[in-house]
């Protein structure tokens, strides 16, 4: 055991990434535990065993264990390792033990009823025995490694990956030589955003010997409004823990429906927005201000569309850290790009309002816009990965592909820039409105800039608070299990694309006029094509052409009448002249 423990510690990085190596170590520990049934285990051997479990059950090995638990050939490896740990604990001699490693603690003591004590490295679990017939030795092992090793499968969900369900307390192994029918365990929960607690124990015979969590003989004891500690009462000894999920199954389905239907509407709205911009681009982007406004709208739509696509990809690869990290990186980058392009719209509004007669070239504005719009988000996203990925703290370990909150607070790399931009945009809007009210709209802008600036002001004034409110509720979902907060966030977040289409494009009167003009010209062109193919008589379909022709004929006839009458008058006058002379 000493050799296995030391080699495992030295080669930890290579071990945690290799399913075959972890499986081999589990097999070795199983063989050793079976051989130890006839001998006592001393403190040194037990310490080496727990140190080995710490390595194979470290946070870095979580994804490897997900793979092992989902693979039919190795699905019982986690159950075998837990069984080996119980066997080792059972073979300790009847004397007091106190062992502490990086992730585990072991305590063995002779107790009498009533007994209560706090255990674990950070004293996170309280174990109580209200009734014991006679003094007896109790072995209590608490290891956070098994949070990463054991799946959440049970008799109902045999897929090892119940969405959102997690082991949310210590895994507590209790061994005793006598029968105890009443045990009370109080768990400090790890993720306070999870609810729906279930008191469970590991049943090795469940699922045809594969093993899984079972609630038989255990019940939850409510403690008023307590939300950070839950108490379970069980009538047997074995390995216990508490499973929790974000919501009940029905509520989780409601959130899923809201999210995916909303994202579908959002993506369709964004595609329609981009199609409209392509159709009317030449008609509306005639001056620099209008041109930059539509550049901002297009980039906002593109950024959100790609972020939504990454969201869907991330929802499909939640169990793989590599693909999940990639999806999270691009979501982080493009969501930030959305906010930075909103910032650029506000700065354009401020620039055109304050610097009325100063003009920056279109090329310079485009260079600044793309540098800020995509350069700043890229820097933030890369720094976030570099500072958190090494500690396995980049993405959430809970139930979706997104920035980590509980361990490294990586989510702040999105929340802080986004809410800062919201505050800046609102401040810019206040400054611009005060400027316009003091000087008047016409005096504050060039005539050609008046309409696009008013549209920008409306977009900034509506979309900025809307996006800020959305991610305000997003922060709320990280720290509160309240179902209403999750529903509001899912609704607002999934419909951002529709809001961009509505307030950025459809409510712009110039855009509607350009669309109407485009469709009118296309109809006119098609009618003209039909008239040409039908011959001259088909021109009767155009009344204004007939009126034009009648007007021209009338003018020509009038001209002829006038000329003939004039010539007759001339002839008469010339004939009258000789008569007078005579």
d(CA 160, CA 75): 9
β-strands 104-111, 136-143: how paired?
Answer: antiparallel
Confidence (pTM): 0.62
The span from the CA of 151 to the CA of 68, in Å, is 10
Q: Which CATH architecture has domain 257-509?
A: Up-down Bundle (1.20)
Supply 553's token pair. Answer: 């004929």
Half-sphere exposure of 22 (CA within 13 A, CB side): 32
Please report the pLDDT score of residue 301 as a whole number: 95
For 2-245, CATH number out of 3.40.50.300, 2.60.220.50, 3.30.70.930, 1.10.10.10 equals 2.60.220.50
pLDDT, tens only, 315-362: 777 656 778 889 999 999 999 999 999 999 999 888 888 775 567 888
How much is the pLDDT for 502? 92
Please report, for residues 170, 219, 319, the alpha-carbon distance to residue 214 in angstroms, rounded to integers and kept in the order given: 16, 11, 23
Distance CA 203, CA 217 (A): 11
Q: What pLDDT, on the 0 to 100 scale, is given for residue 542?
A: 40
The whole-angstrom separation of Cα 349 and Cα 226 is: 50
* The residue to which tokens 């850290």 are assigned: 321
The CA distance from 233 to 236, in Å, is 9
Cβ atoms of residues 145 and 170 within 8 Å: no
CA distance 159 to 572: 115
d(Cα 480, Cα 494) in Å, to the nearest integer?
20
If one counts every other C-beta atom within 10 angstroms of the C-beta of residue 24, the result is 12
Domain boundaries, the chain: 2-245, 257-509
pLDDT of residue 332: 95
* The pair of three-digit structure tokens given for residue 346, joined into one six-digit string: 């506000």
Q: Mean pLDDT of all residues in the chain?
A: 80
| Ramachandran area for residue 40 (φ above 0: left; ψ -120 to 50: alpha; else beta) | beta
At 529 the pLDDT is 52
pLDDT of residue 568: 45
Query: What are 245's strand-pairing partners?
Result: 195
- The whole-number pLDDT of residue 541 equals 39
Give the per-residue pLDDT at 473: 81
Please, what sign has the CA dihedral across residues 309, 315, 319, 324? Answer: positive
Tally the C-alpha atoms within 13 A of residue 125's C-alpha that lie toward its C-beta: 29
pLDDT of residue 24: 94
pLDDT less than 50: residues of the chain? 160-161, 443-444, 532-582
With a CB cutoff of 8 Å and minimum separation 6, the contacts of 43 are 97, 99
For 190-259, the three-class secondary structure string (H helix, E strand, C coil) is CCCCCEEEEEEEEECCHHHHCCEEECCCEEEECCCCCCCEEEEEECCCCEEEEEEECCCHHHHHHHHHHH
């Amino acid at each position: 055991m000493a050799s296995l423990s030391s080699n495992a510690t030295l080669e930890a990085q290579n071990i945690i990434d290799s399913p075959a190596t972890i499986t081999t170590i589990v097999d070795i520990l199983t063989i050793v535990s079976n051989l130890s049934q006839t001998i006592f285990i001393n403190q040194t051997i037990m310490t080496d065993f727990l140190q080995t479990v710490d390595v194979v059950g470290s946070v870095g090995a979580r994804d490897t264990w997900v793979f092992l638990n989902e693979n039919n050939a190795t699905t019982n490896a986690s159950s075998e390792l837990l069984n080996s740990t119980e066997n080792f604990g059972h073979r300790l001699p009847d004397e007091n033990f106190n062992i502490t490693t990086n992730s585990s603690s072991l305590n063995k003591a002779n107790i009498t009823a009533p007994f209560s004590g706090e255990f674990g490295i950070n004293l996170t679990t309280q174990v109580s025995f209200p009734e014991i017939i006679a003094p007896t030795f109790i072995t209590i092992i608490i290891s956070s490694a098994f949070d990463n090793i054991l799946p959440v499968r049970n008799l109902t969900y045999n897929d090892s990956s119940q969405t959102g369900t997690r082991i949310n307390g210590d895994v507590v192994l209790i061994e005793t030589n006598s029968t105890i029918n009443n045990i009370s365990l109080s768990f400090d929960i790890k993720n306070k955003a999870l609810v729906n607690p279930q008191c469970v124990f590991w049943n090795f015979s469940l699922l045809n010997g594969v093993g899984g969590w079972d609630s038989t003989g255990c019940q939850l004891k409510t403690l008023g409004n307590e939300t950070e500690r839950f108490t379970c009462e069980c009538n047997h000894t074995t390995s216990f823990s508490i499973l929790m999920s974000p919501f009940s199954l029905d509520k989780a389905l409601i959130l899923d429906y809201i999210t995916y239907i909303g994202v579908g509407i959002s993506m369709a709205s964004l595609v329609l927005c981009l199609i409209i911009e392509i159709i009317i681009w030449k008609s509306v982007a005639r001056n620099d201000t209008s041109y930059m406004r539509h550049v901002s709208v297009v980039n906002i739509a593109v950024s959100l569309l790609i972020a939504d696509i990454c969201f869907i990809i991330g929802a499909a690869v939640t169990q793989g850290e590599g693909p999940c990290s990639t999806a999270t990186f691009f979501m982080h980058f493009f969501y930030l790009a959305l906010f930075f392009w909103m910032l650029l719209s506000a700065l354009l509004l401020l620039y055109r309002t304050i610097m009325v007669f100063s003009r920056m070239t279109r090329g310079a504005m485009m260079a600044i816009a793309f540098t800020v719009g995509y350069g700043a988000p890229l820097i933030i996203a890369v720094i976030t990965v570099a500072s958190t990925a090494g500690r396995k703290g980049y993405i959430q370990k809970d139930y979706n592909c997104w920035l980590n909150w509980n361990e490294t607070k990586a989510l702040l790399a999105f929340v802080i820039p986004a809410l800062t931009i919201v505050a800046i945009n609102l401040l810019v809007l206040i400054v611009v409105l005060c400027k316009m009210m003091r000087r008047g709209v016409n005096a504050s802008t060039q005539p050609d800039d008046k309409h696009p600036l008013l549209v920008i002001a409306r977009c900034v004034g509506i979309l900025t608070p809307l996006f800020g409110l959305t991610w305000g509720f997003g922060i709320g979902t990280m720290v509160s299990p309240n179902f209403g907060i999750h529903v509001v966030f899912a609704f607002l977040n999934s419909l951002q694309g529709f809001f961009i289409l509505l307030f950025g494009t459809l409510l712009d009167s110039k855009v509607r006029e350009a669309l109407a003009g485009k469709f009118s010209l296309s109809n006119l062109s098609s009618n003209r094509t039909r008239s040409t193919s039908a011959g001259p008589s088909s021109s009767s379909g155009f009344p204004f052409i007939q009126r034009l022709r009648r007007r021209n004929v009338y003018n020509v006839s009038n001209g002829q009448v006038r000329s003939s009458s004039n010539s007759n008058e001339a002839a008469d006058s010339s004939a009258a002249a000789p008569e007078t002379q005579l």
